[in-house]
Structure 1
Amino acid sequence: MGRLPRRAFAAAALATLSGFGTAGDAAAARGPASARRSAAPRAVRGMWLATTSHRDWPSRTGLSPARQRAELLDRLDTAVRLRLNTVIFQVRPTADALWPSPYEPWSQYLTGVQGKDPGWDPLGTAVREAHARGLELHAWFNPYRVSGQPDPGRLAPSHPARVHPDWIVRYGGKLYYNPGLPPVRTFVRTAMLDAVRRYPVDGVHWDDYFYPYPVAGEDFDDGAAYAEHGAGFPDRAAWRRDNIDRLVLEMAAGIKKVRPGVRFGISPFGVWRNASTDPLGSQTRAGIETYDDLYADTRKWVRERSIDYICPQLYWHIGFAAADYAKLLPWWAGVARGTGVRLYAGEALYKAGDPAQPAAWQDPAELSRHLTLAAKHPEVKGHIFFAAKEAGADRIGAMARVVADHYRQPAKPPG
Structure 2
Amino acid sequence: MTQKSLYALLAAAPALMIGALAGTALRAPSAPSTDTPLAAAALVAPAFAATPSAAPAAESAAPRPAVMEEGRALWVNRWDYGSAATIRQVMENAARAHFNIVYFQVRGPWDARYRSQLDPCSTRLCDRLGGVPTWDPLEVAVREAHARGLQLHAWINGLSGWESNDGSTCARLRPSAPGQPNHVLVDHPEWAMHTRAGRPMRCPNGEEYVYLSPAHAGVRTHLARVAADIVRRYEVDGIHLDRIRYPGADYGWDPAALAQFGRDPAANPQDWARFRRDLVSRMVQETHDSIHAVRAVPLSAAVWPIYDRTRFGWPSSSGVGQFFQDTWGWASGGYLDVAVPMTYFRVAPERCSYRPLRPGQEPNPDWDCMIADHVQGMRPSGRHVYAGVLPGLGRDEITKQVRIGRAHGVNGFSFYFYSALADMNAWAFLGDGVFREPAVPPRMPWLQ
Residues 47 and 87 of structure 1 are in contact (CA less than 8 Å); yes or no, is this contact kept in structure 2? yes
Aligned equivalent of 1:358: none
**Distance of 2:387 and 2:172 partners within structure 1:** 37
- Shift in alpha-carbon separation, 1:121–1:286, aligned structure 2, 3 A: farther
Matched, 1:263 2:298: yes
TM-score, length of structure 2 as denominator length:
0.72
Matched, 1:409 2:433: no
Aligned equivalent of 1:179: 214
1:57 to 75, 78, 81: 81
1:328-343 to structure 2, matched below 5 A, reads 328-343=370-385
Structure 1, unmatched stretches of 5+, are 1-33, 59-67, 276-280, 353-360
**Distance of 1:223 and 1:113 partners within structure 2:** 30
Shift of 1:411: 1.1
Matched, 1:147 2:162: yes
Shift of 1:318: 0.4
2:133 partner SS: coil
**Distance of 2:368 and 2:93 partners within structure 1:** 29
**Distance of 1:310 and 1:196 partners within structure 2:** 20
- Shift in alpha-carbon separation, 1:286–1:123, aligned structure 2, 3 A: farther
- Shift in alpha-carbon separation, 1:225–1:334, aligned structure 2, 3 A: same
81-90 vs 183-192, which deviates more? 183-192
Shift of 1:303: 3.3
1:115 partner SS: coil
2:214 partner SS: coil
Matched, 1:43 2:74: no
1:267 partner SS: strand
1:14-29 to structure 2, matched below 5 A, reads none
Aligned equivalent of 1:78: 93
- Shift in alpha-carbon separation, 1:36–1:76, aligned structure 2, 3 A: farther
**Distance of 1:124 and 1:404 partners within structure 2:** 30
1:236 partner SS: helix
1:406 partner SS: coil
Shift of 1:40: 2.6
* Percent of matched pairs sharing the same residue: 30
Shift of 1:118: 2.9
Aligned equivalent of 1:383: 413
Shift of 1:82: 0.7
- Shift in alpha-carbon separation, 1:80–1:286, aligned structure 2, 3 A: farther
Aligned equivalent of 2:27: none
**Distance of 1:294 and 1:109 partners within structure 2:** 29
RMSD: 2.3
Aligned equivalent of 2:253: 222
TM-score, length of structure 1 as denominator length:
0.77
Aligned equivalent of 1:318: 347
**Deviation string for 1:10-39 (max 9, x for gaps)?**
xxxxxxxxxxxxxxxxxxxxxxxx999623
Aligned equivalent of 2:389: 347
Shift of 1:221: 5.4
Shift of 1:223: 3.5
Shift of 1:286: 5.4
Structure 2, unmatched stretches of 5+, are 1-60, 176-181, 194-200, 355-363, 444-448
- Shift in alpha-carbon separation, 1:175–1:133, aligned structure 2, 3 A: same
1:91-106 to structure 2, matched below 5 A, reads 91-106=106-121
- Shift in alpha-carbon separation, 1:346–1:112, aligned structure 2, 3 A: same
Matched, 1:199 2:234: yes
The number of equivalent residue pairs is 345
1:376 partner SS: helix
One-letter amino acid of the structure 1 residue matched with residue 437 of structure 2: Q
**Deviation string for 1:213-239 (max 9, x for gaps)?**
46xxxx435331222211389532111
**Distance of 1:101 and 1:156 partners within structure 2:** 17
One-letter amino acid of the structure 2 residue matched with residue 318 of structure 1: V
Aligned equivalent of 2:153: 138
Aligned equivalent of 1:242: 278
Residues 180 and 222 of structure 1 are in contact (CA less than 8 Å); yes or no, is this contact kept in structure 2? no
One-letter amino acid of the structure 2 residue matched with residue 302 of structure 1: A
Aligned equivalent of 2:131: 116
Matched, 1:252 2:279: no
Shift of 1:209: 4.2
